[in-house]
Chains A and B, each alone.
Chain A
Amino acid sequence: NAGVMQNPRHLVRRRGQEARLRCSPMKGHSHVYWYRQLPEEGLKFMVYLQKENIIDESGMPKERFSAEFPKEGPSILRIQQVVRGDSAAYFCASSVRQGPYEQYFGPGTRLTVT
């Protein structure tokens, strides 16, 4: 069984460019969560999606950030016009059911903005 897959693992972008982070949940999981981790800090919730629906985006910055989980294909976290402060590790997790249950995490994408 393949786990949660994220790509790319490392991404370097210049200020002002766009970053696209992809997440393929575990097979059979229809609930996807995105988290951001700054150096020396814990993970901060960003957004919770189900297929074709954003359920909770209370942790997403109001501007430049968007997320989707289409009917087919991976979930995408998109950051437009990146700034240095966006440099972080972005983790995706998936779960089989809704609620505060076990989540399976991907290896993360490390975004560096130069």
Chain B
Amino acid sequence: SQQGEEDPQALSIQEGENATMNCSYKTSINNLQWYRQNSGRGLVHLILIRSNEREKHSGRLRVTLDTSKKSSSLLITASRAADTASYFCAPGTSDKLSFGAGTTVTVRA
């Protein structure tokens, strides 16, 4: 499997603002998943986007996928303090997932 690379490494925003983070990968994928990890806890699945989809929404989350550029973005709108976490993308090509170092998002009150 391949590892996604998230960018930026860290992001600090004011509550109510939007947060955008990107993921790049190297080879063809079946799907791409985004996960969130709150400090010291296990990962929580946020959203899965298939390779034939370009955009997907879930609540305040919006994910895009550009297979020609081998990249994805995660947008969190109207951020809240509870969104403070690390966010990881996982390109899906086989049974296992590989995670990059993630984007650490800090939402300031």
Residues of B within 8 A of A8 (CB): none
B93 is an interface residue with CB less than 8 A from chain A: yes
Q: In the complex where A100-B31, A100-B92, A101-B48 touch, is A45 in contact with B98 (Cβ < 8 A)?
A: yes
The answer to whether A40 and B42 have CB atoms under 8 Å apart is: no
CB-contact partner of B94 in A35, A93, A100, A103, under 8 A = A100
State which residues 28-68 of B face A: CB under 8 Å. Answer: 29-31, 33, 35, 40-45, 48
Q: Which of B29, B88, B95 has the most CB atoms of chain A within a 10 A radius of its CB?
A: B95
Residue pairs across A and B with CB atoms within 8 Å: the count is 72
CA distance A93 to B42 in the complex (A): 9
The answer to whether A103 and B95 have CB atoms under 8 Å apart is: no
A1 is an interface residue with CB less than 8 A from chain B: no
Residues of A within 8 A of B78 (CB): none
Q: Of B11-19, B69-77, B99-107, which stretch is located at the interface? A: B99-107
Q: Report the minimal beta-carbon distance from B99 to chain A, rounded to whole angstroms.
A: 4
State which residues 29-74 of A face B: CB under 8 Å. Answer: 31, 33, 35, 40-45, 48, 55-56, 58-59
B97 is an interface residue with CB less than 8 A from chain A: yes
The answer to whether B96 and A33 have CB atoms under 8 Å apart is: yes
Which A residues are closer than 8 A to B by beta carbons? 4, 31, 33, 35, 40-45, 48, 55-56, 58-59, 91, 93, 98-108
Interface CB pairs A-B, < 8 A, 7: A33-B97, A42-B3, A45-B1, A45-B98, A100-B95, A102-B33, A106-B42
